[in-house]
Amino acid sequence: MRNEMKQPAVILILSGWFGLITPMILTQQYVSAAGGSLTVSVREESDDQPLITRVVIKRAEDPNRRVVVRRTVPAGIGFVLDRSAELSLANGQYQFRMIRGPEYRIISGNFALERTSLDDHAVALPRMVNMLQEGWTSGDCCVPASPYSLPLRMASEDLHLAGVLGHMDAKPIAGRSDDEPPENVPSWIDERATHEHGLVFYRFGATPPMDANEPEPAKLGADSGIAALPVERLVKQGASDEVRIAVENPFAWQLPVWLASGQLDGFFLLGDWLRLDRRIVSITDGRGPQGVTTGGNKAIGRWAEQIYWNLLEAGFRIPPLAGSGDQANATPVGYNRLYVGEPSQDDASGKLDVRPVASQQQWWQAAWRGQSVATNGPLLRPRLGNEIPGHVFKATAGEVLQLQPELQLAVRDPVEYLEVIHNGKVHYSARLDEYAKAGGMIPPVMAKESGWVTMRVVTLYEDHFRAAMSAPWYIEFDGQPRVTTKAVDFFRQWLGDYEARLKRLPPQELQRHVPYVRAARNFWARKAQQVRPD
């Protein structure tokens, strides 16, 4: 057996207000087994504790085809290696990668199996950053139901909460009596969500989850047999204090109508259009990218972000969410994830600290308050004016708020840029080397009017939009929100395009939509009247 250290990629860890850049190298290992069976065990590099991780194995002569390993839990891309496993594979040369969420370095390498031989090999996974210790708890807000062990898949990705669409009914694993990972960390599985036509309904009361396919008797008559429209269910369920509703498909044609209902609590900024099993380059269920840049692998991710910024510019305070989405069974759980934190005051220094949430309920409460960062790669810990995202800064006309941005960042991919966005415009943009050269200092935001601020880091990953984006901080002068003509027109045009599509429906079906479209028209007309002159 021999190990070879190579350098296939570089990880940058960057501490925001110190401007420290430390290169860290992906480890590539070569293992030559003495036979046709290889037992692999995984441990944490820092303390030698056994770990659960995701592993991808490919034949060296066919690197585009993944190898299936018997008696393991499929993890979308690859399988779960539960602390140790015996790999009984055909003889030959293999490539492998070990990936445990975004907080660990990726271990990659090669091994060979030959007839009649046995060998053992232990792998140590190095952690880049411990987000939980820093106060940030991870979650996937929308996980499709699956027959494969969710506790093990969550542990393999270092994920702490999963909001499941429906009920998980895991198949037993041959040779195992228990699939619960013995880790002293949060592992919360919430099975109270349902999905319908681009909306996710989260029920947090004691009553059973809703059946998305059940007709709405109050709307349509108990014997009608006609399923409720998504907006009908949105209006009815949104009135309940036990229900939170999020837009899982931000491109849905009905979006301007849903926004007009006033019943939305969350917006998926990262979802199943960003996945590892295949590239999504067009939108089949909704309104595609508008404007000059409408093509390429990153266009859809940027389009979701643009929609969200227009939502903020129209005066909404809807927090971002992130998750697998309803169509991403083949992508590892938690690839798109949301980190939430609770602000707390350090008694000694008086500075703001961040602490982990203590329960599943607190996790969701922090998410709905927007105390969060959405990511599918970079690990961003931002502050503005010493506050975490979701905070509302208040002032009166004539004042100027000076708000200092600060951030810490760990990344595995090369970074294209990091930016601070203020009211839809770039306040600060820099490459990492430029940011480090400036000592990690970002010019303060000088706020003279209502608005919002967000921070983001965008990588050079080629297959799709890979980034981290903070939830907004809000700035409120004299209790008035920021509403711009451009943003209102954006959604009024969207509504007009939706109406044109509805006119193709049969008259009887069209009539069901008319009251909601009319109400949306009136809503956006009132929004236009809220625009304050410059």
Alpha-carbon distance of 390 to 374, in angstroms, equals 13
Largest CA-CA distance found in the chain, in angstroms, rounded: 81
In 3D space, the residue among 469, 356, 334 whose CA is nearest the CA of residue 52 turns out to be 334
Alpha-carbon distance of 265 to 247, in angstroms, equals 8
> Is the Cβ–Cβ distance between 95 and 57 less than 8 Å?
yes
Mean pLDDT of 488-509: 96
Instruction: Give percent of the chain with pLDDT exceeding 90.
Output: 67
Does residue 359 form part of some domain?
yes
**450 and 367 housed in the same domain:** no
Does residue 178 form part of some domain?
yes
**90 and 215 housed in the same domain:** no
pLDDT 10s digits, 304-333: 999 999 999 999 999 999 999 998 888 999
**138 and 279 housed in the same domain:** yes
Domain's final residue, options 125, 151, 173: 125
Contacts of residue 65, defined as CB under 8 A and 6 or more positions apart, other chains included, come to 58, 59
pTM exceeds 0.85 for this model: yes
Number of domains in the chain: 4
**202 and 246 housed in the same domain:** yes
Take residue 75 and report the two structure tokens written for it. Answer: 């993890």
Q: What are phi and psi of 114, to 5 degrees?
A: -125, 160
- Residue 458's CATH number: 2.60.40.10
Secondary structure (DSSP) of 328-368 = -TTS-TTSSEEEE-EEEE-TTT--EEEE--SSHHHHHHHHH
Checking if the pLDDT of 226 tops 50, the result is: yes
Alpha-carbon distance of 11 to 507, in angstroms, equals 58
- Residue-number span of the structural domain to which 382 is assigned: 377-482
Does residue 402 form part of some domain?
yes
Per-residue buried b or exposed e for 48-76, using 16+ beta carbons within 10 Å of the residue's own CB: eeebbbbbbbbbeeeeeeebebeebbbbb
> Is the Cβ–Cβ distance between 453 and 404 less than 8 Å?
no
Checking if the pLDDT of 10 tops 70, the result is: no
pLDDT 10s digits, 363-381: 999 999 999 999 999 999 9
Checking if the pLDDT of 24 tops 60, the result is: no
pLDDT 10s digits, 249-263: 999 999 999 999 999
Does residue 318 form part of some domain?
yes
**284 and 429 housed in the same domain:** no
| pLDDT value at residue 86 | 84
In 3D space, the residue among 354, 389, 377 whose CA is nearest the CA of residue 470 turns out to be 389
Does residue 364 form part of some domain?
yes
Does residue 426 form part of some domain?
yes
Does residue 149 form part of some domain?
yes
Report the SS3 class of residue 167. coil
Alpha-carbon distance of 183 to 160, in angstroms, equals 11
**423 and 521 housed in the same domain:** no
Domain's final residue, options 125, 152, 177: 125
Contacts of residue 50, defined as CB under 8 A and 6 or more positions apart, other chains included, come to 41, 42, 43, 44, 83, 84
**269 and 167 housed in the same domain:** yes
Does residue 451 form part of some domain?
yes
- Residue 72's CATH number: 2.60.40.1120
**229 and 340 housed in the same domain:** yes
Domain's final residue, options 371, 395, 430: 371
Mean pLDDT of 199-224: 54
**255 and 341 housed in the same domain:** yes
Mean pLDDT of 489-515: 96
Instruction: Give percent of the chain with pLDDT exceeding 70.
Output: 84
**110 and 238 housed in the same domain:** no
> Is the Cβ–Cβ distance between 39 and 33 less than 8 Å?
no
Checking if the pLDDT of 387 tops 80, the result is: yes
